[in-house]
Amino acid sequence: MEKRRLYMDYAATTPVKPEVLEAMMPYYTTYFGNASSFHQFGREAKEGLDKGRAQVASLINADPREVYFTNGGSESDNWALEGTAFARRNKGNHIITSKIEHHAILHTCEYLEKVHGFEVTYLDVDADGKVDLEQLKRVISDNTILVSVMFANNEIGTIQPIKEITEIAHAHGALMHTDGVQACGNIPVDVKELGVDLMSMSGHKIYGPKGIGALYIKKGVKIHNFMHGGAQERKKRAGTENVPAIVGYGKAAEMAKNNMENHVRELTRLRDKLMYGLQERIPYTRINGHKTDRLPGTANVSFQFIEGEGILLLLDQAGIAGSSGSACTSGSLDPSHVLMALGLPHELAHGSLRLVVGDFTTEEDIDYVLETLPPIIARLRELSPLYQTYIKEHPEENK
């Protein structure tokens, strides 16, 4: 009998939906032209590119001319930060971000500090992962050129008050960037309502292909180019456009917009059943992230006395794919910087598990995890000296 395979890691990536793949295929074969060419083959490719741009723009209520395609969220983050920093260094050299950003932001800030002499302030977050707005008001100044705070966290799912943060940034003449990679396509996003100047996006988080993303640049905002060469993307991002991927991203964005209400409702229901079901069945379990202001599919829990690597290994043997944090840092033995920023002790941060449900997750999948995970945690705790010591010191809790 074939082992059950259950994917619960939709924040790391998503499968390409059949409709997306179907939309892409002709652009590998029939409409294969270079979108910059003037002949018929080029014009056909350009039509697909333009349609994809309009679909992505529609998802976030932007003008298509404000959407610039990149190879993914990390490039968009790098471009937003470096492009803004270099374009505005005559105004100041201060950048503000948060301690729970994706490493595409944190490492770019580190580079700007060490190599180019910019000053970066890293905002604290509360126990639920919300940015400290009062701290932001204290540290921002006329020397601040950019505030970059992610829309929704990729590990714990907490959603930030982006509109309020943007208002604070603009009151001091700073631009506002948000990493919207996890948010765009998973929750309603309206750049006009938010007022942000820049926003990073990615295709493979919303059932589109990998290797394609976008940077929203509000009309009138001037930043330096990140890629130099040809005149593609209105002379802002050189390189032959990946038309099949753009077409697929556009189709995925269109489907996400049309299915948004059902997507949010169903994933929230399944997530809560999973998250609170685990807390009910497994003692010494902590839910990480804001209880309500969080992405609909993201459940992140910490199990006291054990480490996440053991959980993932046994889950994988049971056919369940999860993670202990961001896929980009899965090779690291250090505890999650996000969970540490919440104030969790090392031992609790090490025992974290992220399970993320998606459009293909079923009720039966949730039931299978709720049946499978408690015995795994119990088995690991039996092997844990920390747990055995705790039991001896607190016999009244285990009667």
217, β-bridge pairs = 198
**242 near 96, Cβ under 8 Å?**
no
> Alpha carbon 159 to chain centroid distance?
11
Angle between helices 363-382 and 260-281 (to 10 degrees): 30
What DSSP element (H or E) covers 172?
Answer: none
In the annotated binding site, the residues are 73-74, 154, 182, 202-204, 240, 328
In the annotated binding site for pyridoxal 5'-phosphate, the residues are 73-74, 154, 182, 202-204, 240
Residues 46 and 68: their CA atoms lie apart, in Å, by: 14
In the annotated binding site for [2Fe-2S] cluster, the residues are 328
Angle between helices 40-59 and 243-258 (to 10 degrees): 30
Query: Which amino acid appears at position 123 of this protein?
Result: L
Residues 43 and 113: their CA atoms lie apart, in Å, by: 44
Residue 139, CB-side half-sphere exposure with 13 Å CA sphere: 20
Q: Determine which one of 21, 139, 328, 340 is catalytic.
A: 328
Residues 237 and 241: their CA atoms lie apart, in Å, by: 9
Catalytic (active site) residue 328: yes
Q: Which residues contact 164 (CB under 8 A, 6 or more apart)?
A: 133
Residues 343 and 98: their CA atoms lie apart, in Å, by: 14
Instruction: Concatenate the DSSP letters of all residues of 313-376 into one string.
Output: HHHHHTTEE-BSS-GGGTT--SPPHHHHHTT--HHHHHTEEEEE--TT--HHHHHHHHHHHHHH
Query: Which amino acid appears at position 138 of this protein?
Result: R
User: Which residues are annotated as catalytic?
Assistant: 328
